[in-house]
Amino acid sequence: MPLYAAYGTNLDPARMSERCPHSPLHTTGWLTGWRLTFGGEEHGWDGALATIVEDPLEQVFVAVYDVTPEDEKLLDTWDSADTGLYRKTKVRVSTLTGELLVWTYVLDAYEGGLPSASYLGVLADAAEAADAPADYVAALRRRACRSTGL
C-alpha cells in the first residue's frame, strides 16, 4: 500500500480513522528539509491553509499511514486534491527505523497569510493527539494567527 504523510489536521488519528477507515497508522517521523507554513488565504474560509515548503534548516512532524486506494480517493476529496487546491508530491520521512518514501499534499497557492486562531488550535490539537513532541506542539500554539475569522 502507498504510504501517506499527514502534517496538518490529518495528524489526528481519530480524524484519519473517520476519513480513511481502512488505512492504519504505520509510524511517525519527520520531514527533514521542510517547514510548515500557510498560504492560499484567498481559498480558505477562515484564513490561510496549512502547507509545507522546502527549507533545509527545518523539519515537520508527520504521521505516516498505509493508505488503501479507496481511502486515497476519499482523502483526495477531503483535502481538495480532486479540485486542484492541493497536489500530491513525494517526500522522504525520517523515522526511528530508517527513511520512507511517501506522498503528501502541498498547497498549490502562494505562501503567505495567517491561519485563524481556531484552525491553528485544531492543528496543534491534532499534533498533540499524534504524540508529537511537546515543544513542537507548543511552537504551533505560539504561531501568529488571525484572532477572528474573515
Nearest CA to 103 among 138, 75, 122, 129? 75
Q: What angle do CA 72, 76, 78 make, to 5 degrees?
A: 115
In words, the CATH class of domain 3-138 is alpha beta
Whether the Cβ atoms of residue 92 and residue 64 lie closer than 8 Å to each other: no
Nearest Cα neighbor of 141 from 15, 127, 67 is 127
Window from 76-80, 114-118, 135-139 with minimum mean pLDDT:
76-80
pLDDT level of residue 148 (50, 70, 90 thresholds): low
Question: In terms of Cα–Cα distance, which of 6, 2, 9, 3 is closest to 105?
Answer: 6
| Per-domain residue ranges of the chain | 3-138
What string of H, E and C letters represents the secondary structure of 10-29? HHCHHHHHHHCCCCCEEEEE
How confident is the model over 20-67, as pLDDT tens digits? 999 999 999 999 999 999 998 777 667 899 999 999 999 999 999 999
Check pLDDT > 70 for residue 149.
Answer: no
Strand ranges (DSSP E) for 11-74?
25-39, 49-66
pLDDT in tens, 101-113: 999 999 998 898 8
Amino acid at 61: F
Cell of 95: 523515522
d(CA 129, CA 26): 15
Amino acid making up residue 68? T
pLDDT, mean of residues 5-31: 96
Is 119 annotated for ligand binding?
Answer: yes
pLDDT of residue 84: 81
